[in-house]
């Protein structure tokens, strides 16, 4: 792989570190400290999480309509994203937090879709598609960085200093991307003429979108409250922040590993394994609350959710190679919609049963339904394709 291609890919990885690992997910390990220092209730924490996910939904949806000046638009959203991280540490207003988490979410949605689209198209145009999985390692690297740095910075500068420190780090990563991308030209997206072949809501794609949306709903309950749940189990409190580091370490190499598997097995088969492992990870703390079970749960969470993201987006682009922006946007929008609903339902289930086991059981069952949708959808769309092929061969005679 040429040096320029590596530079472009690293630039994309750094943007996902900022937008996903830090801007979106640093909230998870910082939340317990904010809850103690600011007296935040579980319900208010849920509102902050949901505000971020509503923003992500808006950004992911909007990104599907960006065809021109993708690079400049992307860099502008990165600037806003970094500012939203920094300002979190400068205010104690709950309403302003809600607004900032929305801005962080919206810009993250734009950054994820546009970066994925730009990098996947760039690599495809240089016959380097096999390296696309490495892009998504940025999510895991960002989670690992936030998991490692949050307790360290918080111990010295409190939660406010943690947001400021992560904001400065994000700015450095964004500037690095600017340097790495200085000489590359990114082609504007092309509006594809609508024909039967370019309609994305056909064949297996709608099933993939529904399964991915349910995955967003199920996984985010663990993603939002995992550290907080462990922190509230007295005997496991010391493992709370470490669990997030484990999730990040597992997520960092996940995408390339999962993408390697699809060179040997079908994507749906590999996706199914990822879904099954995720369900096991979500449900582990329900049945056993030991250090090993919660850390294995965190490991499986990180390893599978990044795998499902990378496999689903790569498969969607494979189905519609000329519409990478639109299909990644459609998938991410469904995912984001699930993420909006997830924390609200989790909070309701938790307060009704007064147990952290209830939202985790609910999350596990939702991801199981997502797996069922994926498998039924594949069987149904394959059957439909086969009957079409048989019909066509009859007509040809």
Distance CA 164, CA 54 (A): 24
Q: What does pLDDT average to over the chain? A: 87
pLDDT score recorded for residue 324? 75
Q: Compute CA distances 317 → 117, 129, 133, 392, whole Å.
A: 9, 11, 13, 26
Confidence of residue 12 (pLDDT cuts 50, 70, 90): very high
pLDDT score recorded for residue 269? 95
Between 92-96, 308-312, 393-397, the lowest mean confidence (pLDDT) is in 393-397
Q: Compute CA distances 188 → 69, 251, 372, whole Å.
A: 6, 31, 37
Distance CA 13, CA 354 (A): 40
pLDDT score recorded for residue 28? 81
pLDDT score recorded for residue 115? 93
pLDDT score recorded for residue 209? 94
Is 70 exceeded by the pLDDT of residue 188? no
C-beta of residue 9 within 8 angstroms of C-beta of residue 131: yes
pLDDT score recorded for residue 44? 86
pLDDT score recorded for residue 350? 81
Is 90 exceeded by the pLDDT of residue 245? no
Per-residue pLDDT reduced to its tens digit, 133-146: 889 899 889 988 88
If one counts every other C-beta atom within 10 angstroms of the C-beta of residue 129, the result is 17
Instruction: Name every residue whose Cβ is closer than 8 Å to that of residue 153 and which is 6 or more positions away in sequence.
Output: 161, 162, 165, 166
pLDDT score recorded for residue 199? 66
Higher-pLDDT residue of 47 and 211 is 211
Is 90 exceeded by the pLDDT of residue 11? yes
Please name the CATH architecture into which domain 3-396 falls: Up-down Bundle (1.20)
Higher-pLDDT residue of 290 and 391 is 290
What are the domain boundaries of the chain?
3-396
Is 90 exceeded by the pLDDT of residue 49? no
In residues, how long is the chain?
Answer: 397
Per-residue pLDDT reduced to its tens digit, 16-42: 999 988 998 888 888 888 988 988 887
Running DSSP on this structure, what letter comes out for residue 265?
S
pLDDT score recorded for residue 193? 52
pLDDT score recorded for residue 190? 54
The secondary structure of the chain in percent helix, strand, coil, rounded to multiples of 5, reads: 85, 0, 15
pLDDT score recorded for residue 362? 92
pLDDT score recorded for residue 241? 76
Per-residue pLDDT reduced to its tens digit, 324-374: 778 888 998 999 899 888 877 887 888 888 888 888 999 999 999 999 999
Strands, E assignment, the chain:
none
Confidence of residue 1 (pLDDT cuts 50, 70, 90): low
Write the burial class of residue 310 (CB in 10 Å: 0-12 exposed, 13-18 middle, 19+ buried).
buried
Confidence of residue 187 (pLDDT cuts 50, 70, 90): low
pLDDT score recorded for residue 352? 86
Q: To the nearest whole percent, how much of the chain has pLDDT over 90?
A: 43
Per-residue pLDDT reduced to its tens digit, 189-238: 555 555 555 566 778 899 999 999 999 999 888 877 777 778 878 888 88
pLDDT score recorded for residue 2? 80
Q: To the nearest whole percent, how much of the chain has pLDDT over 70?
A: 95
pLDDT score recorded for residue 378? 93
Confidence of residue 161 (pLDDT cuts 50, 70, 90): very high
């Amino acid at each position: 792989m040429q040096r320029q291609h590596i530079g472009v890919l690293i630039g994309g990885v750094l943007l996902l570190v900022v937008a996903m690992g830090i801007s979106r997910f640093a909230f998870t390990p910082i939340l317990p400290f904010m809850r103690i220092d600011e007296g935040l209730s579980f319900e208010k924490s849920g509102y902050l999480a949901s505000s971020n996910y509503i923003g992500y939904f808006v950004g992911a949806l909007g990104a599907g309509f960006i065809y021109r000046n993708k690079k400049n638009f992307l860099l502008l959203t990165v600037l806003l994203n970094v500012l939203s991280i920094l300002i979190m540490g400068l205010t104690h207003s709950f309403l302003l937090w809600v607004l900032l988490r929305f801005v962080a979410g919206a810009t993250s949605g734009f950054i994820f879709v546009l970066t994925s689209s730009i990098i996947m198209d760039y690599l495809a145009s240089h016959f380097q598609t096999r390296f696309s999985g490495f892009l998504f390692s940025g999510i895991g690297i960002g989670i690992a960085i936030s998991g490692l740095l949050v307790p360290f910075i918080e111990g010295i500068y409190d939660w406010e200093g943690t947001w400021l420190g992560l904001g400065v780090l994000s700015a450095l990563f964004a500037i690095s991307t600017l340097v790495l991308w200085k000489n590359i030209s990114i082609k504007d997206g092309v509006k594809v003429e609508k024909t039967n072949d370019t309609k994305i809501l056909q064949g297996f794609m709608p099933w993939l979108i529904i399964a991915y949306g349910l995955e967003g709903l199920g996984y985010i309950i663990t993603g939002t409250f995992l550290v907080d749940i462990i922190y509230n189990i007295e005997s496991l409190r010391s493992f709370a922040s470490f669990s997030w580091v484990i999730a990040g370490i597992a997520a960092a190499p996940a995408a390339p590993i999962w993408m390697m598997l699809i060179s040997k097995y079908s994507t749906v088969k590999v996706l199914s394994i990822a879904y099954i492992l995720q369900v096991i990870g979500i449900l582990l703390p329900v049945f056993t609350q030991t250090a090993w079970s919660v850390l294995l749960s965190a490991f499986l969470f990180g390893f599978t959710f990044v795998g499902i993201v990378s496999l689903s987006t790569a498969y969607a682009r494979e189905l519609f190679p000329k519409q990478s922006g639109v299909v990644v946007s459609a998938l991410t929008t469904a995912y984001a919609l699930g993420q909006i609903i997830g924390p609200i339902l989790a909070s309701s289930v938790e307060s009704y049963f007064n147990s952290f086991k209830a939202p985790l059981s609910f999350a596990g069952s939702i991801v199981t339904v997502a797996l069922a949708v994926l498998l039924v959808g594949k069987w149904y769309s394959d059957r439909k394709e086969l009957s079409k092929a048989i019909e066509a061969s009859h007509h040809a005679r």
